[in-house]
Amino acid sequence: MVTVDELFAIDSLLTDTERQIRDTVRRFGEQRLRPHVADWFEQGTFPARELAPELGALGLLGMHLDGYGCAGTSATEYGLACMELEAVDSGVRSMVSVQGSLAMTAIHKYGSEEQKQQWLPQMAAGRALGCFGLTEPDFGSNPGGMRTRAVRDGSDWVLNGSKMWITNGSVADVAVVWARTEEGVRGFLVPADTPGFTAREMHRKLSLRASVTAELDLDGVRLPGDALLPEGKGLSAPLGCLSEARFGIVFGALGAAADCLAAAIDYARTREVFDKPLAAYQLTQAKLADMAVELGKGQLLALHLGRLKDRGELRPEQVSAGKLNSTREAIAIARQCRTILGANGITLDYPVLRHANNLESVLTYEGTAEVHQLVLGEALTGSKAFR
């Protein structure tokens, strides 16, 4: 028997350091996270603050950023870590992505030296958590329509508006909030204890239940002038961070798919139907073979994009191709694996439907599948079809 990794000789494409990082994160995931994750999902909780220092000690927070206590790994190493975290649960990878690729990246790319010194070292260590507030109740795919406003008042800024679906929102020490100003969209660092700022955890989710999602309310939030991220101007600033997070998803979603496929193969080999193992039927083998091929192709594409990113050559539409492919194939694999597990597949005793449900969010956030089709459509034809 071979694993999908062996089938595609994935290891032969990795450096020693990449394999080491992957194996370290895999061990942490199996030992520290997997034993609890079904309960967190069932209870709709995620101990973000408790886990953050442990994830920080492993160098996973702001992992691919340089300086300020960050690990400074390659993009591919970061991707492989995302894959292992998401093999446990998309919620864990989401927490790490939002902290590192969104909140810390915004500060790293667009912040002043003082802002970087103040926030990045404690965020890298997991002593402080960040969130990234871009989406609003009426503006998700089209964040340019945002209604949150920041107005100058002397040397201060005053923010009013609301944000929705914000990962880590109610556990964050600092929110990176994007708001419309007279000079276009700008980013602000809002400490969670600022008067007028409230974060309310959202409940009744059927997906990403092991993840904190919140609504942010900004009611006359007064910030000093130096709360503005000086280097991020216009919508391209938040979009630049989203491109980083999407890159993590290119790898991450395939981790969830790989976990589903491993569970389905394991189950099919021991479950007997009509007097022989389910794995010995041609229909089952066809399903497994097709899923293995899609998973392997996805992994090869992810690695290719990782190499391009490490050479500084990765273009946004290439990230879109990877995000679209990985999430679309991962959710198809998760659903197909669920059929193999029959009724057992609908329980939390197996990871498969938990992953499938999580992947509904992963398909939607960081640009929906349709938005990435539109990005690719524009790249291929030269015609924008968003409106």
Ligand X SMILES: Cc1cc2nc3c(=O)[nH]c(=O)nc-3n(C[C@H](O)[C@H](O)[C@H](O)COP(=O)(O)OP(=O)(O)OC[C@H]3O[C@@H](n4cnc5c(N)ncnc54)[C@H](O)[C@@H]3O)c2cc1C
24 binds ligand X (CB under 6 A): no
Residues 76, 105, 118, 135: which binds ligand X (CB under 6 A)? 135
- Tell me which of 21, 134, 171, 179 binds ligand X, using CB under 6 A: 134
Q: Helix 34-43 vs helix 90-97: angle between axes, to the nearest 10 degrees?
A: 90
> Contacting ligand X (CB under 6 A), which of 68, 78, 119, 165?
165
- Which residues from 302-361 bind ligand X, rule CB under 6 A? 361
Q: Judged by CB, which is closer to ligand X: 134, or 278?
A: 134
Is residue 265 a contact residue for ligand X (CB under 6 A)? Answer: no
Applying the rule CB under 6 A, the residues between 206 and 225 that interact with ligand X are 208, 213
Site for ligand X in 190-209 (CB under 6 A): 208
Q: Which residue is nearest to ligand X (CB)?
A: 140
User: Which of residues 21 and 356 has its CB atom nearest to ligand X in the complex?
Assistant: 356
| Residue 264 within binding range of ligand X, rule CB under 6 A | no
Provide the minimum distance between the beta carbon of 38 and ligand X in the complex, in angstroms, as a whole number: 18
Build a one-symbol-per-residue string for 91-130: x at contacts with ligand X by CB under 6 A, - elsewhere.
Answer: -------x--------------------------------
Active-site amino acid positions: 366
Q: Does 290 bind ligand X (CB under 6 A)?
A: no
State the residues that interact with ligand X by CB under 6 A: 98, 132-135, 140-141, 165-167, 208, 213, 361, 364-365, 368, 370-371, 374, 386
